[in-house]
Structure 1
Amino acid sequence: MFFPNGDVYHFDDYGNVTSIKNARDPRRNITLTYSGLGADLRLTAMTDISGRSVQLSYMSGRLSSILLPTGQTITYGYDVRANLTSVDYGNGQVKQYVYGESGLAPNGDAGLLTGIISEDGKRYGTFGYDEYGRVISSVLHGENGPTESTDLRFPDATHTVVKTMTGELQTYAFTSDQYRRPLSIASNARSESSTYDSHGRKLSHTDGRGVQTTYAYNASGQLSQQIEAANDTTGDKRTTQTDWHATLNVPVARRVLDAAGQWVSQ
């Protein structure tokens, strides 16, 4: 797979990235190493052209530590439910994750993240849930009080109303099927919308400025074309076309065209 910046991605027979090489800038070259097979496959190392390596270790199928080229080790801790509870940076700084706090999680559900404690030991994040396990409040804390606050309510099965810290109300509409794909976002300040085909694939998205992006797919359902600013008439339209491997779910070529249909990059 080729990118405009010169990066070339190489894959093994199973579709895993094994290396990234760039002839124009070899400093970007990296080799990826794996261990195990199938469901037990794990990325164990990433090595650059100078031989510097990031090494990843696992325990019980979970990431347990990362060894950086500097010699620093980052260690990850989990509880009996396999929830991430701590990230120890090895320099006296530990970030903690808290679950199931009273008043924030229904019935003290230990699987719901209710708080984040930053490396300085102070509360960074607080999250509340309703009886269905849906997030209804999110607060990020700073030195002088909340720096970000969001409240959510669910008036029916296909809509969510979000209240931001500034008091703005945003209404999100979703499809009624099990995938709950976003259809539109509406507020006093902006409006966005999306459309989908019968297979649930996004066909178009119109952002708050009225700029539309369209999507097309091949017979295998892979994204084959994306047109940014598809409804633009001033020359901003940009088309990205992607060719895919016949048997692997891996892109093999990508072309970028300008508004006149001329190649910009490959």
Structure 2
Amino acid sequence: EGISLYRHYDNRGRLTSVKDAQGRETQYEYNAAGDLTAVITPGGNRSETQYDAWGKAVSTTQGGLTRSMEYDAAGRVATLTNENGSDSAFRYDALDRLVQQGGFDGRTQRYHYDLTGKLTQSEDEGLVTLWHYDESDRLTHRTVNGEPAEQWQYDGHGWLREISHLSEGHRVAVHYGYDDKGRLTSERQTVKNPETGELLWQHETKQAY
């Protein structure tokens, strides 16, 4: 059974309302610059967005709760203020890469990159995560405080074959299969004993073309 939708536009081609066959209507409002400023749902709930002179969203309000954003001179998000008034601050390097983030909960995360721009290390309240790559710049494994966390394996074509990690003493993995065109044909999830390799559980889904 089809679904009928009736769309209305203003003289500038902007969508102003969508009404279904039951008469439930969603409305859209814009400012003079053409930015979407409000969405009103059929139930009457209104969400609003305000913008600065450069067209960047500076606040969103939904259900009476407001989240605001501040930007630095380069136009990057510098501060987010959530509905509870808590701030999250962001710092960037000269290449626009995020190097530090202060969370709403007061935690600070830091990020380090290599000369090619790949993330190599992140720090989060005493947790140091290292990211490792192969000669083709493909992510191969990740460690947390020196302990193995996740592994990525590839085949001769460079296609991702397996992602695995340790969880509660088991090796949990997802295995991917492809056809000769590189299309994903299967996804198999397994749980194994990491010491003996014994298969404890598996589930597979297949995709036909």
* Same fold, TM-score > 0.5, yes or no: yes
Alignment of 1:242-257 (within 5 A): 242-247=176-181, 250-257=183-190
Aligned match of 1:238: 172
User: Aligned pairs, how many?
Assistant: 196
Query: Normalized per residue, which structure has more strand?
Result: 2
Deviation at 1:99, TM superposition (A): 1.7
Asked if 2 retains the 8 angstrom alpha-carbon contact of 1:227 and 1:239, the reply is yes
Asked if 2 retains the 8 angstrom alpha-carbon contact of 1:56 and 1:63, the reply is no
Asked if 2 retains the 8 angstrom alpha-carbon contact of 1:159 and 1:174, the reply is no
Work out which of the residue numbers 114, 124, 132 in structure 1 matches 2:74: 132
Say which is worse superposed, 87-96 or 128-137, in terms of deviation. Answer: 87-96
SS across alignment from 1:213:
strand
Asked if 2 retains the 8 angstrom alpha-carbon contact of 1:155 and 1:161, the reply is no
| Inter-partner Cα distance in structure 2 for 1:182 and 1:132 | 22
**Cα shift readout 1:34-86 (whole Å, capped 9, x = no counterpart):** xxxxxxxxxxxxxxxxx586979798999877767976444455567664433
Asked if 2 retains the 8 angstrom alpha-carbon contact of 1:140 and 1:149, the reply is yes
Deviation at 1:153, TM superposition (A): 2.2
| Inter-partner Cα distance in structure 1 for 2:15 and 2:146 | 42
Deviation at 1:228, TM superposition (A): 1.6
What percentage of aligned pairs have identical amino acids?
16
Work out which of the residue numbers 85, 90, 94 in structure 2 matches 1:152: 90
Q: Which structure 2 residue ranges, 5 or more long, are not aligned?
A: 205-209
Instruction: Pick the structure with greater CA Rg.
Output: 2
**Cα shift readout 1:133-173 (whole Å, capped 9, x = no counterpart):** 1111000123xxx1x31112235546612223444332111
Aligned match of 1:164: 103
Alignment of 1:86-165 (within 5 A): 86-100=38-52, 108-110=53-55, 112-120=56-64, 122=65, 124-142=66-84, 146=85, 148-154=86-92, 157=95, 160-165=99-104
